[in-house]
Amino acid sequence: MTGGPHMADPIFIAVAVLTVGTAILALEARELIYGAIALAISMLGIAGFFLLLDAPFVAMFQIAVYVGAVAVLIIFTVMLVRTQALFTTKEDKKRKGAGIALMLIIMASLGALLLASGLNGQFGNFDNAQTVDFKQIGHLMLTYYAPALIILGLTLAGSVIAALALARREDVEQQHERTD
Amino acid sequence: MWSNNMSELIDFMLVAVALVAVGIYGLVVKRNAIRMLFSIEIIANAANLTLVAFSRGLSNAQGQTFALFSIAIAAAEVAVGLGLIIVAYRLYKEIDVAEFRSMRG
């Protein structure tokens, strides 16, 4: 199939609608907690795309990190901050209209650019391409990208320590020390 | 495996464009710091989708490797972002970014 309009896979369309729909819901849901759950479902949809792209390893990683860690972290924070502050949605109607217009302009222009880019049909329907084995990914990570992997580990450790240091309450701790 | 013989690279790219547009909309319109973090996550996910889609189209493992690195970095970013939001909430009793008038504290 080269160029021109084509029928996409029905599973693909279902996952696409789910992912984009829940992404919009994540931003527009009235309660932040429902938004967080919608975001988790949107990330599951992205993992579904990774499965469709024959990248099961990345899909599992996505589920483990995003749905398992990030979404739970966000839900915890939403519950910690849960007060009236979350329910006041102070939004300009004008600003919202401008935002929707900007969104549509970006969608239309980038979409037109993509359709005109010659990418359409260039890779066919992935028939010529071989799927990537996860052993290849592991090999790359431990050989060529080994320094990047080490730096990534250090970055993760640093950011976790930084997050702990940020969220610590020094005033409370000092009071406890004084009373002791 | 769920083989898909009907969707092409361009379809995945169009979905990624839609997600980026939704994320930019959120960053422009929303004033709630947690919603802005959601928008950033949506944009990062769209980027990962393009990486994996091109990895599939070019049958190159580097795209998937980069996507894995990107997911891990995004997790670190969320941890720090939420830490900042909690500190800001403690200082201002508010997570509306327009209310964070000064960086004192």
Same domain for A80 and A28: yes
Same domain for A157 and A122: no
Same domain for A156 and A100: no
Same domain for A95 and A83: no
Neighbours of A105 (CB within 10 A): 12
| Helical (H) or strand (E) element with A84 | none
In a domain, B4, yes or no: no
Domain that holds residue A169: 134-180
Same domain for A116 and A57: no
In a domain, B25, yes or no: yes
In a domain, B95, yes or no: yes
| pTM (predicted TM-score) | 0.86
Same domain for A12 and A42: yes
Into how many domains does chain A fold? 3
User: Structure tokens of B93?
Assistant: 């009793």
Into how many domains does chain B fold? 1
| Helical (H) or strand (E) element with B65 | helix B61-92
> Mean of the pLDDT values across residues B30-42?
90
Contact (CB, 8 A) for B8 and A1:
yes
Same domain for A28 and A75: yes
Same domain for A82 and A1: yes
C-alpha dihedral (A155, A157, A161, A166), degrees to nearest 10: 40
Instruction: Please tell me which of the candidates B11, B49, B83 has its beta carbon nearest to residue A8.
Output: B11
**ipTM for the complex?**
0.88
CA-based nearest residue in chain A for residue B15: A16
Q: Which amino acid is at A86?
A: L
For residue B75, give the CATH number of its domain: 1.10.287.3510
Per-window interface: B 65-94 vs A, CB < 8 A? 65, 67-69, 71-80, 82-87, 89-90, 93-94
For residue A55, give the CATH number of its domain: 1.20.120.1200
Q: Is A8 on the interface with B (CB under 8 A)?
A: yes
- Residues A91-141: tens digit of each pLDDT: 678 888 888 899 999 999 998 888 888 776 666 566 666 777 788 888 888
- Residues A10-50: tens digit of each pLDDT: 888 999 999 999 999 999 888 888 899 999 999 999 999 99
Same domain for A147 and A72: no
- Residues B40-56: tens digit of each pLDDT: 999 999 999 999 988 88
In a domain, B32, yes or no: yes
